[in-house]
Amino acid sequence: MKSIYDLEIIDLEEYFLSINEKKYKAKQVYEWLYKKRVSSFKEMTNLKKSLIEQLEKDFSFDSLTILKTEKGKRVNKYLFLLPDQEKIEAVLMFHDYGNSLCISTEVGCNMGCAFCESGRLKKVRPLKPFEMVLQILLVEAAIKERISHVVLMGIGEPFDNYDSVLRFIRIINSNQGIDIGARHITVSTCGIVPKIEQLSQENIQINLAISLHAPTNELRDKLMPINRVYPIEKLFKALKKYYDLTNRRITFEYIMLDNVNDSLEDAQALADLLRGINCYVNLIPYNETSHLQFKKSSHLKIMAFYDILKKNKINVTIRKEFGSEVSAACGQLRSTN
């Protein structure tokens, strides 16, 4: 049985028409789900009893369970139990501009990036749209505040679950749904070129972030296996096409790994690679884990790298460090308890 949280409003409209009901009832159901936040069809008091019974036959009210909440400085990490007993994590960051939730899109990840803790658990399965939607609803209920920004940068490669991710985005972006603005939604990918090309055709103004982490194929091949399939030349050809079609600035994520990708030569190579592209570089101090051999670049190295990009007129910032004290920082999430 399909979860009611899997449906876009257009799907509900088509459903109601198929059972000889008025399609405006889709808006009523969406209002109960996302504005009034009910947890059963019986609570939808402006629907007739026979329709409620039909909805109960056709759709389920699935839920996730928050197994554990860990709190750090301006950050919460949530461990969720899924209906099939698998587990995922999400991270809530309290910013000056609002509450940003970093959600997971898969149980495990097959991308195998060398520096990423999340990828140590191979992909078990993709998440369904409802399992992404409920990460937001349950966190909002827990903190009794609105989530204003959503980042698809938790466990999993979003473009390895493309169709469900796009359905999820349309659900949360809908005015009748959670109503999170497209420009407050960021999808991060390690560089699956065909899906970047597909996204450029979707006519949705979300933010695209590329996990780059190296300025050359030789180095990126060692850190990110995806680069052997879609090397930098193919990736940047797709990104140029994406920009030409969407006119949306592209973010590049660059994790600073000590004595791996943080030299002055690496900085200049990155500046040369990005010259002329409307982009923004996010330098990320590496979050060390007990399982992987990489170390964080020193503050001095990060600042020297930053200065070279600035001198080359590249828009760049250094990401504030969130959540490392509860293993909730970038690259640290796992499906653990």
Give the active site residue among 109, 190, 279, 330.
330
Predicted confidence band of residue 123 (pLDDT cuts 50, 70, 90): very high
Q: How many whole angstroms separate alpha carbon 129 and alpha carbon 85?
A: 17
Three-state DSSP at 30 gives helix
CB 155 within 8 A of CB 122: no
- Where would I find the H helices in 19-161? 25-30, 49-58, 129-143
Percent of the chain at pLDDT > 70 equals 94
Judged against a pLDDT cut of 80, whether residue 327 lies above it is answered with no
| The pLDDT of residue 321 | 66
Q: How is the chain split among helix, strand and coil, in percent rounded to 5?
A: 40, 20, 40
| The pLDDT of residue 323 | 47
CB 198 within 8 A of CB 165: no
- For the full predicted model, state whether its pTM sits above 0.85: yes
In whole angstroms, what separates CA 271 from the centre of its chain?
Answer: 26
In order of their start, the domains of the chain are: 2-60 (1.10.150.530), 65-326 (3.20.20.70)
Task: Respond yes or no: is residue 89 known to be catalytic.
Answer: yes
Task: Respond yes or no: is residue 113 known to be catalytic.
Answer: no
Distances from the Cα of 279 to the Cα of 158, 253, 324, angstroms = 21, 11, 27
| The pLDDT of residue 258 | 96
Give the active site residue among 8, 89, 117, 288.
89
Average of per-residue pLDDT across 180-208: 97
| The pLDDT of residue 298 | 95
